[in-house]
Structure 1
Amino acid sequence: MTMPRLLEDRAVRLFIGLAAFFCVNAALAEFIGVKIFALEDTLGIAPLNWNLFGQTGSLSFTAGTLLWPIVFILTDTINEFFGSRGVRFISWLAVGLIGYGFVFAFAAIALVPAGWWVTAAQSQGVPDYQAAFAAIFGQGLWTIGGSLVAFLVGQLIDVAVFHRIRRATGEKHVWLRATGSTAVSQLVDSFVVIYIAFVIGPQHWPLSLFLAVSTVNYVYKILFAVVLIPLLYLMRRWITGYLGAARAEELRLQAAG
């Protein structure tokens, strides 16, 4: 099959689209994850004054958690129609692209800034644009390493658990294999990334802070994974309509095989 003919295959175009959207969301989650936001203040409500592992105050999340539920949906959708090989391929691809992005972020930081640009945002309360740029995009190597290791390990665990549940339940209970695989993989991801970045890393968080922040982020991810279950079924229905019932069934059988 020649390349133009290959791209006429709706399954090929579907995989390219899902893989591209997956990689963009994963990369964005890594880059914006440097920001920590307070949930109650964002919602405009009084602090809940939670107490978890001795840590009290507002609920704090990394901004990357906004995008991870979308990554979960894409992972489960690709798992459903393209199997473990498809998920492993896009996971390694995403890690490579994220690493590529960080290399050029550090390269951009190293460029000597124009003098006028450094002070260009003083009226907006940013006295040194270069310092702000470096602080945001120049995440420490521990943070980058922790993020990439946790992401890849989590993805590989997700695909393994997804297909183990699928073999046990057959084609029934799509929600079970989706949420079950996410629950196990994100238990690893949520704790590994913060442990490497902030406990082993230079900040040396105390164990109580590590457990509190990791637990809050994990619970958030699981809650959203459950909330987005209807979206998973909508994606499945849309893909079946796009590919045709016979082609969609063929892909699902190959993926389960």
Structure 2
Amino acid sequence: MTTEDQTLNDPGVEHANVAAHRPTLLFIILAGFFVANTLVAEFIGVKIFAFEDTFGWEPFNFNLFGQAGALQFSAGVLLWPVVFIMTDIINEYYGKRGIRLLTLLTAGLITYAFFMVFAAIWLAPADWWQTQYVSAGVPDMQSAFKAVFGQGLLIIVASLSAFLLAQLTDVVSFHRIKEVTGEDKIWLRATGSTVISQLVDTFVILIIAFKWGPAITGQFEPWSWGQLLAVATVQYTYKFTMAVVLTPVLYWAHHGIDRFLGPELAERMKDQATRWN
């Protein structure tokens, strides 16, 4: 049994050099990538892009639930499938405890980031900075900064609620599928748990931000159920498709991690991840 293998079973052992302890180093790398992806997804989510125009295609002009139009997405959907794949990878090697810790930490960091953004918006802008980019078509930098970064409170509450619920759903469904199918079918438990959690994520954020929230606050007219279901269907279809498309990436990641840890240590971590739940 290797030194790393022995210390894996002894949480009381202190590691002065975390870079020398591969399970710890791996968790730091995965956690850093997970947090970065989640934060970026939150901030770029304010942009809505036209799918067909992006690729130079004619509008599809679909009709769903009485709603007709082209395909439009929040830019955040580009990264959320990656976040949920990262959840499955961390879940595989560190179990429910590991991903729950990381989920709560990330939610706290998102909250902290938004508070810092609102603080930056509150700061009085310098006069010269306000008009610095007039020639580039931005007459008021303070207004532009506030519009881009100052997402409404409803969006923040909806996003955090959806993130937490979807993550917890992913964790539970991942291990339920693993218990039934065993160790071999990585694609099934990863894709299955992602498909379920993405469904939760899609509907929770839309319902809170555009249905219940506006009805309570009166900030704007709540979406109709037809509009909400149409947008949710389009976004969930994209997320479902990406979950399937990214399956090879999941296997590549598992292969790379197993090589980094070594076969024996990797298997031991997977076993303990299941028993630590």
Q: State the TM bucket, normalised to the shorter chain.
A: over 0.9
Which of 155, 161, 177 does residue 165 from structure 1 map onto? 177
1:117 Cα offset (Å): 0.8
Q: Alignment partner of 1:56: what SS? A: strand
Correspondence for 1:24: 36
Correspondence for 1:255: 273
- Distance in 1 separating the partners of 2:121 and 2:207: 26
Unmatched segments (≥5 aa) in structure 1: none
Correspondence for 2:51: 39
Instruction: Render the CA deviation track for 1:146-180: whole Å, top value 9, x for unaligned.
Output: 00000000000000000000011110211110111
1:7 Cα offset (Å): 3.8
Instruction: Render the CA deviation track for 1:226-254: whole Å, top value 9, x for unaligned.
Output: 00000000000000000000000000111
Correspondence for 1:174: 186
Which of 100, 108, 111 does residue 99 from structure 1 map onto? 111
Correspondence for 1:236: 254
1:5 Cα offset (Å): 4.1
Alignment RMSD (CA, Å):
1.0
Maintained 8 Å contact 1:179/1:225: yes
- Residues 8-19 of structure 1 mapped to structure 2, 5 A cutoff: 8-19=20-31
Which one-letter code corresponds to 1:23 in the other structure? V
Maintained 8 Å contact 1:162/1:181: yes
- Distance in 2 separating the partners of 1:194 and 1:33: 13
Identity over the aligned pairs, expressed in percent?
A: 54
Correspondence for 2:237: 219
Maintained 8 Å contact 1:29/1:64: yes
- Distance in 1 separating the partners of 2:68 and 2:105: 39
- Distance in 1 separating the partners of 2:172 and 2:188: 14
Asked if residue 68 in structure 1 is aligned to residue 80 in structure 2, the reply is: yes
Which one-letter code corresponds to 1:160 in the other structure? V
Answer with 1 or 2: which has the greater Rg. Answer: 2
Runs of 4+ residues deviating >6 angstroms:
none
Q: Alignment partner of 1:4: what SS? A: coil
Q: Alignment partner of 1:162: what SS? A: helix
Which one-letter code corresponds to 1:187 in the other structure? L
Unmatched segments (≥5 aa) in structure 2: 1-12
Count of aligned positions: 257
1:182 Cα offset (Å): 0.8
Instruction: Render the CA deviation track for 1:212-231: whole Å, top value 9, x for unaligned.
Output: 11111111111001000000
